[in-house]
Structure 1
Amino acid sequence: MTALPEPIPQPLEVDHLLTVAEYAALGETEHGYTELQEGRLVMSPSPRPAHNHACGELYVQLRSQLSEEWRALQDIDIDLELAGPDEPGFSRRPDLIVAGLDGIRRAEESGRLISAKDVLIVVEIVSPGSRRTDTVIKHGEYADAGIPHYWIVDLTEPVSLTACHLAEGFGYQNAPEVSGRTTLPEPFPLEIDLGQLSR
């Protein structure tokens, strides 16, 4: 017996701008919507294998260096808290975050998204078609949300990382781009071998 092809998912019909709570209530959808920008659903294509490998490798490198109070998490929604609970909201799903264990537990127990105030580092891996979003739009949103550190990883050879940190009153200040094996001094010394992200 031949299986029938799966129907192509139709666009999700939403007749208003969503709050973060409404977005979270959608859960995982078959439509590929993974983020919320000013109340509007944003659809992202599935990541390529090289992107997934880089994210997994970076997770492994970070995980072994974090103290007990921090956790590295991949592909998880965060509430940027840029709008009130009844207003069109902002939620992003970064490739990787480092968040406080207490905040993760609070989110788990409440059924809410992880709050930006509990995120120490947010990481985006630049994909084809996401460069402006990662380097301009999310750069501004994550800074506005008060996330202390934002890392932008570019897989174009040689793999590079731009570490951004909040400079009070000025948003993010970008450190010079680094590649190869490097030690990032903030928020605490972390040794990253960027060359391993492309192997």
Structure 2
Amino acid sequence: MIQSAPNLLTFEEFLEWYPDGRGRYELYEGVIVKMNPTGDHEEVAAFLNRKLNVEIDRQSLPYFIPRTYLVKPPSIASGYQPDVIVLDKNALHDESLWKKSSTISQGKSVKLAVEVVSTNWRDDYLTKARDYEEMGIPEYWIVDYLGLGGRRFIGNPKQPTFSVYQLVEDEYQVSQFRGDDRIDSPRFLELNLTAKQVFSAGA
């Protein structure tokens, strides 16, 4: 990630600044950051997007995966774009910024947020996990297909790890999956995927 502006912005100023067209940007406590995902990273995210859409359709769930969006945590001037996000259509009427700027500010609107790990792994394991937990997002996946995260998060020796964070009594509890482990998702119980299948999408 590359910082693209030195001045601290409010979230509202970030929305006004956000350019049309190519480019993905996030706001970290007032600092604009340009996202530069690799092709492999995008293939993993696209694979999960496709599999989740199949589950949503198969179960006739009132969910959808938007193309453009921002997630605004409370109390801080930040705005994130998870690599995949599953929203609840029925909850959006309480989102004051949704129709104008595709922005989510309430955890109840989100069924699942997914981050595919890049070299900025601390953002996914520390910053976003903290903020998504505070928002009350019930399920958060960290897909570390290259095993880049810190050893305290994925163990030693490092290896590709799929972490499922589930909100239990307002705190995230994590389950981790590797190799041929079948991913256990509280939200998508019938999802039939192994960690290896997901990681192979970025091979």
Please tell me the TM-score bracket, short chain as reference: 0.7 to 0.9
Long gaps (5+) in structure 1: 1-9
Q: Does 1:148 align with 2:138?
A: yes
| Aligned position for 1:3 | none
Q: Does 1:19 align with 2:19?
A: no
| Aligned position for 1:174 | 174
Long gaps (5+) in structure 2: 148-158
| Aligned position for 1:71 | 64
Aligned partners of 2:4 and 2:34 also within 8 Å: no
* Distance in 1 (alpha carbons) for counterparts of 2:88 and 2:82: 16
TM-score (norm 2): 0.74
| Aligned position for 1:34 | 25
| Aligned position for 1:95 | 83
* Distance in 1 (alpha carbons) for counterparts of 2:91 and 2:18: 20
More displaced stretch, 101-110 vs 141-150: 101-110
Q: Percent identity?
A: 26
Q: State the one-letter code of the partner of 1:64.
A: V
Seen in structure 2, the aligned counterparts of structure 1 residues 30 and 41 have a Cα distance that, compared at 3 Å, is: farther
Q: Which has the larger radius of gyration?
A: 1
* Distance in 1 (alpha carbons) for counterparts of 2:14 and 2:91: 20
CA RMSD of aligned residues (A): 2.9
| Aligned position for 1:4 | none
Q: Does 1:192 align with 2:193?
A: yes
| Aligned position for 1:7 | none
More helix by share: 2
| Aligned position for 2:110 | 119
Residue 147 of structure 1 and its aligned partner are, at CA, apart by 0.8
* Distance in 2 (alpha carbons) for counterparts of 1:159 and 1:116: 31
Aligned partners of 1:161 and 1:179 also within 8 Å: no
TM-score (norm 1): 0.76
Seen in structure 2, the aligned counterparts of structure 1 residues 76 and 192 have a Cα distance that, compared at 3 Å, is: farther
| Aligned position for 1:165 | 166
Q: How many residues of Structure 1 are paired with residues of Structure 2 in the alignment?
A: 180
More strand by share: 1
- Kindly provide the CA deviation profile for residues 13-64 of structure 1, in whole angstroms up to 9, marking residues without a partner as x: 64xx3222221122227996711122222333x1111101111011001110
* Equivalences for residues 40-79 of structure 1 within 5 A: 40-44=31-35, 46-66=36-56, 67-73=60-66, 76-79=69-72
Residue 98 of structure 1 and its aligned partner are, at CA, apart by 0.9
Residue 193 of structure 1 and its aligned partner are, at CA, apart by 4.0
Aligned partners of 1:125 and 1:152 also within 8 Å: yes
2:127 is matched with which residue: 137, 151, 162?
A: 137
* Distance in 2 (alpha carbons) for counterparts of 1:78 and 1:93: 6
Seen in structure 2, the aligned counterparts of structure 1 residues 99 and 176 have a Cα distance that, compared at 3 Å, is: same
Residue 103 of structure 1 and its aligned partner are, at CA, apart by 4.4
Aligned partners of 1:20 and 1:91 also within 8 Å: yes
Aligned partners of 1:77 and 1:113 also within 8 Å: yes
Seen in structure 2, the aligned counterparts of structure 1 residues 177 and 116 have a Cα distance that, compared at 3 Å, is: farther
